[in-house]
Amino acid sequence: MINFLLSHDEIIKLILSIFVPIMVVVGWRFIQKNSHSFAKRTELNGLAKDVNSIVDETLKLASSYWLTQLSDNDKNERISYEMQVMYQYQKLTLKKKALKHYKVVLDDSVVGKLKQALTLDSKSNPSNNSAVFFNIVNAASNLTEQLENKIIESNLTHTKFLKWVDKQLEKDAFKKGTLASLIVINVFLLFFNLT
């Protein structure tokens, strides 16, 4: 077989002219898929950070409103608080839509519970204020926990391809086959460069 191939160098050139571009395309596709997965993970983690900062800002607003004493201009404070909270909620809604683009869907009930905890109670009973604030913290915690779980789940989905590649690389047959292919290609290239 080797003597036949050595005597018919056009067959070797044909095999190499087919094999090398295929290897280039396969390598390019692997690199492209890996970089796309990495970029997607980075964008998702950035969105998660944005959502967490919105939730933190909302908790600061709730803390400064619910854990302070009533003042004479409570109506103005309430209007200011609700407008600021609604602004933060609107930003949260936009981030939720952006997350949906990456197939990370937050439950409407969890986001709705945060909005409900932030806006539906009035600050008329000072003894109830800390309980209201606790409900807000609880709703924010549930939202953050769900977001983290969805991001982890999404990151695991993006790494399935890389795990498959790692499993293939761990197999001895794959390693030996790849090594043998590289040796054969280099021998043929060396042979044709010498002739």
pLDDT of 142 strictly over 90: yes
pLDDT at 30 over 70: yes
Pairwise CA distance, residues 57 & 60, whole Å: 5
Burial of residue 18, with CB atoms counted within 10 A of its CB: 0-12 exposed, 13-18 middle, 19 or more buried: exposed
**pLDDT the model gives residue 96:** 94
Q: Does 101 have pLDDT greater than 80?
A: yes
Band of the pLDDT at 50, cuts 50, 70, 90? very high
Give the model confidence (pLDDT) of 145-190 as tens digits: 999 998 888 776 656 666 666 666 666 666 666 767 777 777 767 6
CATH number of 2-158: 1.20.120
Question: What's the rounded Cα separation, in Å, for the pair 72 and 147?
Answer: 39
* Mean pLDDT, all residues of the chain: 80
> What is the signed CA dihedral for 18, 21, 22, 23, rounded to 10 degrees?
120
Task: Please report how many Cα atoms fall inside a 13 Å half-sphere around the Cα of residue 174, on the Cβ side.
Answer: 8
Q: Which of 47-51, 68-72, 74-78, 124-128 has the highest mean predicted lDDT (pLDDT)?
A: 47-51
State pLDDT tens for residues 105-139: 999 999 989 988 888 666 666 677 888 888 899 99
Alpha-carbon span 58 to 85, nearest angstrom = 6
**Rounded Cα distance, 136 and 86, in Å:** 14
Q: What is the pLDDT of residue 29?
A: 80
